[in-house]
Amino acid sequence: MIFRQATQEDIPAMQVVRNAVKENVLSDPSVISNAAYILYLEERGMGWVCSIKDRLVGFAILDHQEKNVWALSVLPDFEGRGIAQELQRIMLKEYFAHTQEAIWLRTAPNTRAEIFYRESGWKELGMHGKNELKFEMTYDVWNSKFNRRLL
């Protein structure tokens, strides 16, 4: 497994990964354009990818402006191998290297993603919009639990 910072050249493969997920499926995949990925990678934040044998199998994108996780996705056939955990570790390490403000994300309830975030130390804040849960990671929780556990 190779983890590295994402580039614009990764966007077509990231689109494939995002549209292959079995949970948190986009109702209209065309809503998230390549231009949106460029905006988040180049202006609003940054991203990372995981590849295995030159195949992009997972990615994460951080939005520094909104202080949230814009995306974290892994191809279904590659789940359970620690890819999401490592992408999350890299992303949070980068985020908290620049601020101690809490970071948030949203995900659908009753999903493996919800369980994943809870087990990683994220705290549920309630509903976000109509159908999603909002979670938060504080610097103190990351530093005391998550950061030390995953270094």
Predicted pLDDT of residue 128:
78
- Residue from 9, 144, 19, 27 nearest 76 by CA: 19
Q: In the predicted model, is pLDDT for residue 48 greater than 80? A: yes
What fold characterizes domain 2-150? Aminopeptidase (3.40.630)
What pTM was estimated for this model as a whole?
A: 0.90
pLDDT digits (tens, 9 = 90+) for 60-119: 999 999 999 999 999 999 999 999 999 999 999 999 999 999 999 999 999 989 999 999
Q: Of 29, 33, 102, which is closest to residue 68 (Cα–Cα)?
A: 102
Using a pLDDT cut of 70, give the percent of the chain over it.
91
Strands (E), 15-114: 45-52, 55-63, 68-74, 103-107
Distances (CA, A) of 54 to 10, 86, 93: 11, 18, 25
pLDDT band at 148 (very low <50, low <70, confident <90, very high): low
Burial code (b: 16+ CB inside 10 Å, e: under 16) for 50-83 equals bbeeeebbbbbbbbbeeebbbbbbbbeebbeeeb
Determine the pLDDT at residue 151.
Answer: 44
pLDDT: which is higher, 112 or 148: 112
Residue 55 CA to its chain's centroid (Å) = 18
